[in-house]
A and B are shown apart, each in its own frame.
Chain A
Protein backbone atom coordinates (compact mmCIF):
# COMPACT_ATOMS: atom_id res chain seq x y z
CA UNK A 1 0.00 0.00 0.00
CA UNK A 2 1.54 3.32 -0.95
CA UNK A 3 2.16 5.93 1.65
CA UNK A 4 0.19 9.14 1.62
CA UNK A 5 -3.50 9.76 1.61
CA UNK A 6 -4.29 6.34 0.30
CA UNK A 7 -7.79 5.04 0.09
CA UNK A 8 -8.34 1.41 -0.63
CA UNK A 9 -10.85 0.74 -3.42
CA UNK A 10 -14.21 -0.40 -2.19
CA UNK A 11 -14.15 1.78 0.87
CA UNK A 12 -17.46 2.53 2.52
CA UNK A 13 -17.14 6.30 2.50
CA UNK A 14 -18.43 8.71 -0.07
CA UNK A 15 -15.98 11.18 -1.62
CA UNK A 16 -17.37 14.04 0.43
CA UNK A 17 -17.00 12.03 3.64
CA UNK A 18 -13.42 11.15 2.71
CA UNK A 19 -12.63 14.76 2.03
CA UNK A 20 -14.09 15.77 5.42
CA UNK A 21 -11.87 13.27 7.24
CA UNK A 22 -8.89 14.20 5.11
CA UNK A 23 -9.42 17.87 5.85
CA UNK A 24 -9.54 17.14 9.58
CA UNK A 25 -6.31 15.15 9.33
CA UNK A 26 -4.50 17.90 7.47
CA UNK A 27 -5.78 20.48 9.91
CA UNK A 28 -4.65 18.43 12.90
CA UNK A 29 -1.24 17.84 11.34
CA UNK A 30 -0.81 21.55 10.67
CA UNK A 31 -1.78 22.45 14.22
CA UNK A 32 0.28 19.85 16.00
CA UNK A 33 3.17 19.00 13.72
CA UNK A 34 2.39 15.32 14.25
CA UNK A 35 1.38 12.79 11.62
CA UNK A 36 -2.20 11.57 11.89
CA UNK A 37 -3.49 8.33 10.44
CA UNK A 38 -6.98 6.93 10.42
CA UNK A 39 -7.72 3.26 9.95
CA UNK A 40 -11.30 2.11 9.57
CA UNK A 41 -11.68 -1.61 9.16
CA UNK A 42 -11.49 -4.99 10.76
CA UNK A 43 -9.12 -5.61 13.63
CA UNK A 44 -8.33 -8.69 15.64
CA UNK A 45 -9.50 -10.19 18.90
CA UNK A 46 -7.33 -7.75 20.80
CA UNK A 47 -7.95 -4.41 19.06
CA UNK A 48 -5.41 -2.52 21.18
CA UNK A 49 -2.64 -4.92 20.27
CA UNK A 50 -3.62 -4.79 16.62
CA UNK A 51 -3.68 -0.98 16.68
CA UNK A 52 -0.20 -0.90 18.17
CA UNK A 53 1.01 -3.14 15.37
CA UNK A 54 -0.60 -0.87 12.80
CA UNK A 55 0.97 2.12 14.47
CA UNK A 56 4.38 0.47 14.52
CA UNK A 57 4.13 -0.09 10.76
CA UNK A 58 3.75 3.63 10.04
CA UNK A 59 6.64 5.59 8.58
CA UNK A 60 7.34 7.59 11.73
CA UNK A 61 5.65 5.79 14.61
CA UNK A 62 7.19 7.98 17.28
CA UNK A 63 5.69 11.15 15.86
CA UNK A 64 2.41 9.62 14.69
CA UNK A 65 -1.06 9.36 16.10
CA UNK A 66 -3.23 6.51 14.87
CA UNK A 67 -7.01 6.46 15.18
CA UNK A 68 -8.27 2.94 14.61
CA UNK A 69 -11.96 2.26 14.33
CA UNK A 70 -13.42 -1.20 13.91
CA UNK A 71 -17.14 -0.74 13.28
CA UNK A 72 -17.82 -4.47 13.30
CA UNK A 73 -16.47 -4.96 16.82
CA UNK A 74 -17.35 -1.41 17.83
CA UNK A 75 -13.78 -0.87 18.91
CA UNK A 76 -12.03 2.47 18.94
CA UNK A 77 -8.34 2.91 19.65
CA UNK A 78 -6.10 5.95 19.65
CA UNK A 79 -2.37 5.25 19.67
CA UNK A 80 0.19 7.99 20.12
CA UNK A 81 3.89 7.42 19.57
CA UNK A 82 6.64 8.08 22.07
CA UNK A 83 7.30 11.59 20.75
CA UNK A 84 3.64 12.37 20.12
CA UNK A 85 2.61 11.56 23.65
CA UNK A 86 4.81 14.34 25.00
CA UNK A 87 2.30 16.85 23.66
CA UNK A 88 -0.73 14.59 23.55
CA UNK A 89 -1.21 12.83 26.84
CA UNK A 90 -3.54 9.97 27.58
CA UNK A 91 -6.14 12.16 29.27
CA UNK A 92 -6.52 14.27 26.14
CA UNK A 93 -6.72 11.13 24.05
CA UNK A 94 -9.40 9.84 26.39
CA UNK A 95 -11.44 13.01 25.97
CA UNK A 96 -11.23 12.77 22.19
CA UNK A 97 -12.18 9.10 22.36
CA UNK A 98 -15.20 9.96 24.47
CA UNK A 99 -16.31 12.53 21.90
CA UNK A 100 -15.92 10.03 19.08
CA UNK A 101 -17.71 7.38 21.08
CA UNK A 102 -20.72 9.66 21.55
CA UNK A 103 -20.99 10.25 17.82
CA UNK A 104 -20.51 6.58 17.01
CA UNK A 105 -23.29 5.64 19.39
CA UNK A 106 -25.51 8.08 17.52
CA UNK A 107 -24.53 6.35 14.27
CA UNK A 108 -22.39 9.18 12.92
CA UNK A 109 -19.11 7.48 12.08
CA UNK A 110 -17.68 10.22 9.89
CA UNK A 111 -18.75 13.04 12.19
CA UNK A 112 -17.18 11.25 15.13
CA UNK A 113 -13.90 10.74 13.34
CA UNK A 114 -13.76 14.36 12.20
CA UNK A 115 -14.60 15.61 15.68
CA UNK A 116 -12.06 13.34 17.36
CA UNK A 117 -9.24 14.17 14.97
CA UNK A 118 -9.88 17.88 15.37
CA UNK A 119 -9.87 17.49 19.13
CA UNK A 120 -6.63 15.51 19.06
CA UNK A 121 -5.00 18.10 16.81
CA UNK A 122 -6.08 20.94 19.06
CA UNK A 123 -4.87 19.10 22.15
CA UNK A 124 -1.49 18.37 20.59
CA UNK A 125 -1.05 21.93 19.39
CA UNK A 126 2.47 23.03 20.21
CA UNK A 127 2.37 25.93 22.64
CA UNK A 128 3.49 29.20 21.11
CA UNK A 129 6.62 30.53 22.74
CA UNK A 130 6.18 34.06 23.92
CA UNK A 131 9.71 34.52 25.25
CA UNK A 132 11.90 36.92 23.41
CA UNK A 133 15.57 36.17 22.99
CA UNK A 134 16.36 39.88 22.80
CA UNK A 135 17.38 41.43 26.10
Chain B
Protein backbone atom coordinates (compact mmCIF):
# COMPACT_ATOMS: atom_id res chain seq x y z
CA UNK B 1 0.00 0.00 0.00
CA UNK B 2 1.06 3.59 -0.50
CA UNK B 3 0.41 4.45 3.12
CA UNK B 4 1.55 2.00 5.77
CA UNK B 5 -1.52 0.99 7.70
CA UNK B 6 -1.66 -0.40 11.16
CA UNK B 7 -4.05 -3.16 12.11
CA UNK B 8 -5.67 -2.53 15.45
CA UNK B 9 -5.20 -5.04 18.17
CA UNK B 10 -7.80 -7.76 18.01
CA UNK B 11 -8.76 -7.01 14.44
CA UNK B 12 -8.17 -9.53 11.67
CA UNK B 13 -5.32 -8.73 9.31
CA UNK B 14 -6.74 -7.37 6.06
CA UNK B 15 -5.45 -9.11 2.96
CA UNK B 16 -3.51 -6.99 0.47
CA UNK B 17 -5.54 -6.36 -2.69
CA UNK B 18 -4.19 -7.84 -5.89
CA UNK B 19 -2.00 -5.66 -8.10
CA UNK B 20 -4.61 -5.56 -10.87
CA UNK B 21 -7.14 -4.07 -8.47
CA UNK B 22 -4.70 -1.43 -7.33
CA UNK B 23 -3.79 -0.52 -10.90
CA UNK B 24 -7.42 -0.45 -11.91
CA UNK B 25 -8.28 1.91 -9.09
CA UNK B 26 -5.28 4.23 -9.42
CA UNK B 27 -4.81 4.24 -13.20
CA UNK B 28 -7.76 2.66 -14.97
CA UNK B 29 -10.54 4.52 -13.20
CA UNK B 30 -9.00 8.03 -13.63
CA UNK B 31 -8.38 7.27 -17.30
CA UNK B 32 -11.98 6.16 -17.73
CA UNK B 33 -13.30 9.31 -16.06
CA UNK B 34 -11.01 11.49 -18.16
CA UNK B 35 -12.20 9.74 -21.30
CA UNK B 36 -15.86 10.28 -20.41
CA UNK B 37 -15.28 13.96 -19.65
CA UNK B 38 -13.41 14.43 -22.94
CA UNK B 39 -16.18 12.75 -24.89
CA UNK B 40 -18.82 14.87 -23.19
CA UNK B 41 -16.84 17.99 -24.01
CA UNK B 42 -16.54 17.07 -27.66
CA UNK B 43 -20.06 15.70 -28.04
CA UNK B 44 -21.55 18.92 -29.38
CA UNK B 45 -18.84 19.43 -32.01
CA UNK B 46 -19.02 15.78 -33.01
CA UNK B 47 -22.77 16.06 -33.42
CA UNK B 48 -22.36 19.15 -35.59
CA UNK B 49 -19.71 17.40 -37.67
CA UNK B 50 -22.22 14.66 -38.27
CA UNK B 51 -24.65 17.22 -39.59
CA UNK B 52 -22.00 18.72 -41.85
CA UNK B 53 -21.77 22.07 -40.10
CA UNK B 54 -18.97 21.66 -37.68
CA UNK B 55 -17.83 25.27 -37.49
CA UNK B 56 -20.91 27.39 -37.19
CA UNK B 57 -20.16 28.65 -33.75
CA UNK B 58 -16.91 27.03 -32.82
CA UNK B 59 -14.30 27.81 -35.39
CA UNK B 60 -14.01 29.09 -38.89
CA UNK B 61 -16.99 31.27 -39.58
CA UNK B 62 -16.18 31.13 -43.27
CA UNK B 63 -18.16 27.94 -43.65
CA UNK B 64 -21.16 29.18 -41.72
CA UNK B 65 -22.73 30.98 -44.58
CA UNK B 66 -20.36 30.49 -47.42
CA UNK B 67 -21.58 27.43 -49.18
CA UNK B 68 -25.04 27.22 -47.69
CA UNK B 69 -28.20 29.17 -48.34
CA UNK B 70 -28.52 32.53 -46.67
CA UNK B 71 -30.37 32.71 -43.37
CA UNK B 72 -32.92 35.38 -42.60
CA UNK B 73 -34.03 36.00 -39.07
CA UNK B 74 -36.46 38.65 -38.00
CA UNK B 75 -38.50 40.35 -40.66
CA UNK B 76 -37.46 39.22 -44.12
CA UNK B 77 -38.23 40.72 -47.51
CA UNK B 78 -41.16 39.30 -49.43
CA UNK B 79 -39.19 38.65 -52.56
CA UNK B 80 -35.82 37.02 -53.03
CA UNK B 81 -35.11 39.25 -55.99
CA UNK B 82 -33.29 42.40 -55.03
CA UNK B 83 -33.59 45.46 -57.12
CA UNK B 84 -31.98 48.84 -56.80
CA UNK B 85 -34.31 50.44 -54.32
CA UNK B 86 -35.00 54.06 -53.73
CA UNK B 87 -33.01 54.00 -50.50
CA UNK B 88 -29.70 55.73 -50.85
CA UNK B 89 -26.61 55.61 -48.70
CA UNK B 90 -27.38 59.10 -47.39
CA UNK B 91 -30.78 58.05 -46.06
CA UNK B 92 -29.43 55.12 -44.14
CA UNK B 93 -27.13 54.95 -41.17
CA UNK B 94 -25.12 52.17 -39.63
CA UNK B 95 -21.61 50.87 -39.52
CA UNK B 96 -19.35 48.41 -41.28
CA UNK B 97 -16.52 46.14 -40.28
CA UNK B 98 -14.35 43.32 -41.54
CA UNK B 99 -12.80 40.65 -39.43
Give the chain B neighbours of A69 by CB distance below 8 A.
65
Nearest-Cβ distance from residue B42 to partner chain A, whole angstroms: 16
The one of A14, A55, A78 that contacts B95, using a Cβ cutoff of 8 Å = A78
Question: In the complex, which residues of chain B have a beta carbon less than 8 angstroms from the beta carbon of A61?
Answer: 85, 87
* Whole-angstrom CA separation of A77 from B96 in the bound complex: 5
Interface residues on B, range: 35 or more
B75 at the interface (CB under 8 A from A): yes
For chain B, what secondary structure do more than half of its interface residues adopt (helix, strand, loop), or is it mixed? Answer: loop
Q: Which of B9-17, B22-30, B32-40, B53-61 contacts A (4 or more CB under 8 A)?
A: B53-61
Answer yes or no: B18 CB below 8 A from chain A CBs: no
Instruction: Choose one: A11, A79, A96, A100; the contact of B92 (CB below 8 Å).
Output: A79
Given pairs A1-B72, A100-B97, A104-B61, 9 additional interface contacts (CB within 8 A): A1-B80, A7-B72, A25-B73, A35-B74, A79-B92, A88-B93, A97-B96, A98-B97, A107-B55
Q: B residues near A, CB below 8 A?
A: 48, 51, 53, 55-66, 68-80, 82-89, 91-99
